[in-house]
Structures are given as structure tokens and as C-alpha cells.
Amino acid sequence: MKRQILVFFILAAFVFIIGAKVSYAKWVWSSETSWADPEQLPRETTDQRFRYAVALLINREYISAIGIFKDIIKNNPGSELADESQLNIGKAYYLVGDYKNAFKAYEHMIEQDPGSRRLHEILEKEFRVGIAQMEQDENGAIKVFESVIERNPLGFIAADSQVKIADCYYQLRQFEEAQASYLSVMENYPNSEWVSYAQFRIPYCKLSSIRVQERNYDLLSGSREGFEIYLANNPQGVLADTTKEIIVEIDIAMAERDYKVGEFYLRRKRPEASLIYFESVIKDYPNSEWAARAEEKIKMLKTVGAIR
């Protein structure tokens, strides 16, 4: 009997705990309401409806929250709560992953009051929208970043936005546009912390373009010069080691090119011309595998008497 009573109390306690958890799961916390169950909040006044909408937003009921925020704006245009509601509409769209409408919501605030005291705050939120949008729609993100720059071309995130425009173009494999955008960072924001990054990315775009195309050795040489400029200006930069590795990669490609040109002249039975290229490989790229191969070719040519 005692055992049955003990089991009963254990089961009762378990049901109570589970029930409490289910009830507590509805509760949310915000600075406006503290801990509260959204469904138990009063909704008679505008302030109460705003708090209710915030609670819904926190509870991830985004569509319902947006509807209430829009109703507050409609009935209280120009008020502080209307501004807060518009910001929350943008936040709701952002949280649900609808970045296009999130951007529109923030832009609407600026269009209503271009000189808003909250301009910096709004632009920062737009910038975050652009960052998120880069993962799925680079062209849409570019429009966001361009708008941020247009609204405040010398603002605190203008340089950041210009860098992100360039990064978007790079992700789209539009390397010429990316180069131009990185160059704009250097020209328009010369004191920005992004200058050295842009200086590195310009030749990197050239190199990426070459990798996509058939090897264009003039562009390859040009990108190498760009990396050398970066190293000269940033010998201790965070990308210095990466730059040195890229230069080695380029040198290997250039050495291979010259070696194969030498082979081409050998096939054409022009050993004197091939010697020029083999010697060039040894002189300009002495540590490459192609230099060792060129030395072997020269020894062979001397052995057969093709050259002195």
C-alpha cells in the first residue's frame, strides 16, 4: 500500500512539472514587459498593444507581430511608438529571413524623415541586412550597401559597405567589378583600416580571373606586381604570409610557361631559341622544379652538340 501511494505521488509530481514547463514555455522576457505570457497581456491601450506585439516578436510569432506594429503606425503616425514599431517590423522581417522587406522597412523610415536623429542606427541595421543577404542574393546585398553609402557617404560604415560591395562582386565572379570596387575603397576612404585589405584583394581578383580563364600570362605578371606592392606597403600585414605563398604559386606558373616555350622551340628544331628560355627559367626561378628540368635540357643539348 505504501509503495502504491509513493508511486502515485511521484506520478503526480511528474505531471505537475511537465505542466509547469508547458505553461512556462509560453512566457517571454522583454524590457517592456519583464517575464510575461503574451496571451495574458492587456491590449486596450496603444502602449499595451505595443508591448503585446514585442512579446509576440520575442515568441517568434513574426507575422502576427508585424500586423499589430503596422496597426500602431497607422493609428499613431509620427509618434515615438510608430518609429519603434517600424524598427520592429524591419527586425521581424530580418529574423524571418525576408531581407528584401526588412530593407524596405528601414528605408521607409529614412524616406519619411531623411534627417532622422536615428539615421546611424537605421543604417547600421540596413548594413546587417546586407551582410545576411550576401549568403543568398549578392545583387540584392549590393543594392543595400550602395544605399547605405548614398545615405551617408562619409559615415561610420561607408567604407565597410564599399568593401562588402567588392566582396559581393567577387562572390559573383565578376572580377573586374570587384577590382574597381576595391579600388574605390582606397580612393574614397584612404584612412580606412580596409585599405591594406583592398590593396591585397585587387591583385587577388586578377589572379582569380586568370584561374577561371585560360592562363593569361600578362595578367599573371600584373597580379604578381600588385602583390609585391602590397608586401612593400605591408611587410608585417596579416596577409603578408598568404601573399608570399601566392607569389611563389605565380612564379611556378611563369616558370612552367617559359620551360614549355623552350620545349616548343626544341620541337621546332631551334635549340638556340630554346636555350634562351631554359636559361631564363634557371635565372628567374632558380628554386622551382622547372629550373632543375631546364638544367637537364641544357645538359642534353650540350651532350648531343646542339649548343656549345
Could you read off the pLDDT of 217-253 as tens digits, one per residue? 777 778 888 999 999 999 998 899 999 999 988 888 8
- State which H helix or E strand residue 30 sits in: strand 28-30
Q: What percentage of the chain reaches a pLDDT higher than 70? A: 84
pLDDT at position 32? 60
CA 249 vs. chain centroid, Å, equals 26
Contact present, 301 and 307 (Cβ < 8 Å): yes
Confidence (pLDDT) at 270: 86
The string of DSSP letters for 105-172 reads HHHHHHHH-TT-TTHHHHHHHHHHHHHHHTTT-HHHHHHHHHHHHHH-TTSTTHHHHHHHHHHHHHHT
Residue 11: its pLDDT value, please?
42
Query: Is pTM, for the whole model, over 0.85?
Result: no
Across the chain, mean pLDDT equals 85
Q: How far apart are CA 171 and CA 133, in angstroms?
A: 12
**What SS3 class is residue 173?**
coil
CA–CA gap between residue 170 and residue 189 (Å, rounded): 20
Indicate whether 49 pLDDT > 80.
yes
The pLDDT assigned to 222 comes to: 80
Q: Which residues contact 95 (CB under 8 A, 6 or more apart)?
A: 57, 60, 62
b vs e for 203-235, b when ≥16 Cβ sit within 10 Å of the residue's Cβ?
bbbbbbbbeeeeeeeeebeebbebbeebbeebe
Residue with cell 546587417: 128
Task: Measure Cα distances from 83 to 51, 53, 72, 108, 127 in Å.
Answer: 14, 14, 10, 10, 19
> What pLDDT, on the 0 to 100 scale, is given for residue 284?
87
**Residue pointed to by grid coordinates 559581393:** 168
Mean pLDDT of 46-58: 90
Q: Which of 12-16, 235-239, 273-277 has the highest mean pLDDT?
A: 235-239
Q: How far is CA 263 from the centre of its chain?
A: 44
62-66, 146-150, 166-170, 209-213: which range is least confident on average? 209-213
Q: How do the domains of the chain map onto residue ranges?
A: 258-308
Q: Where are the alpha helices (DSSP H) in 213-288?
A: 217-233, 240-267, 271-284
Which of 161, 243, 238 lies closest to 202, judged by CA? Answer: 243
Section 120-148 average pLDDT: 96
Question: pLDDT at residue 8 above 70?
Answer: no
Weakest-pLDDT range from 77-86, 116-125, 180-189, 248-257: 248-257
Residue whose C-alpha is closest to residue 37's, from 55, 22, 20: 55
